[in-house]
Amino acid sequence: MRAAAALFASSMGSTTRGGANAGAGRVRIWDLPTRLFHWLLVVLVTFSVVTAKIGGLWLDWHMRSGYAILALLVFRLLWGVAGSRHARLAHFVHGPRIVLAYLQGRHPHDGAGHNPLGALSVVAILAVLLAQASTGLFTNDGSFTEGPLAKLVSSTTGERLSTIHRWGELAIYALIGLHLAAVLFYLVVRRDNLIGPMITGDRRGIDAHPARDDAALWLRAAVMLALAAGLTAYVVLL
């Protein structure tokens, strides 16, 4: 609850184009919709893992959580185009040359948004989660649980997608482990707290253009989320 309050309060108290916060050394990096997406995804992925391990009747909730994750991922893709400055995919997704230059210290990062290497981690996690949620729609455990689209494919194809779905769980563990290790490395070794800005939205001591984060942007996000939820519901109900 405290984290949620901090998310909302920091957004209400921020300025989007400099002003008081900029003068105090605070720069808005992550808009409220991006932060809510991040923490909702954390909660839903954790819930999905737990319900999958418990099994039984909890698999129904596992599937519902998967639908919600799929809707969130569709929203993030839309928000990667329509979101604020640092949330846009074009702002932080770079090619191999830029990533290599960053690793060699030839491409400095201003501290705003994801650095080129961190962006690779984000893209990989989103891609694996999208594949996991998508294959889950076609899974069939051979007994009483099957995805809503299992009826659209042959049993052989369903078994293959179910196998991919099971192996995808391991990929998710690996990527999340690397992600958490990187966050811990930055916190302990480089003294750079990456968690705080994902809660408050702000970073201190950097010289970067602040992201927009106002009611109009939130309304746009609500429209994008409704569109993502509607598209997901349409696919699930095919």
Query: What per-residue confidence (pLDDT) applies to 19?
Result: 39
Residue 96 has which token pair? 């191999």
Q: What CATH number labels 34-83+92-195+215-236? A: 1.20.950.20
CA distance 161 to 179: 26
**Residue 85 gets which letter from DSSP?**
G
Query: What per-residue confidence (pLDDT) applies to 150?
Result: 93
Fill in the amino acid letter for 161: L
Query: What per-residue confidence (pLDDT) applies to 23?
Result: 42
Tens-digit pLDDT profile for the chain (238 aa)?
544 444 544 444 444 434 334 444 889 999 999 999 999 999 999 999 999 999 888 999 999 999 999 999 999 999 999 999 999 998 888 888 888 877 777 767 666 778 888 888 899 999 999 999 999 999 987 667 789 999 999 989 999 999 999 999 999 999 999 999 999 998 999 888 989 999 999 988 888 889 999 999 999 999 999 999 999 999 999 8
CA distance 82 to 77: 9
Contact between 204 and 26 (Cβ < 8 Å): yes
End-to-end CA distance of the chain: 37
DSSP string, 104-169: TT-S---SSS--HHHHHHHHHHHHHHHHHHHHHTT-B-SSS-B-TTGGGS-HHHHHHHHHHHHHHH
Question: What number of H helices and E strands is found in the chain?
Answer: 10, 2
Q: Classify the phi-psi angles of 147: left when phi > 0, otherwise alpha if psi is within -120 to 50, otherwise beta.
A: beta
Q: Classify residue 170 as exposed, middle or buried by CB count within 10 Å of its CB (0-12, 13-18, 19+).
A: exposed
Query: What per-residue confidence (pLDDT) applies to 197?
Result: 93
Which pTM does this prediction carry?
0.86
Contact between 72 and 48 (Cβ < 8 Å): no
Query: What per-residue confidence (pLDDT) applies to 110?
Result: 65
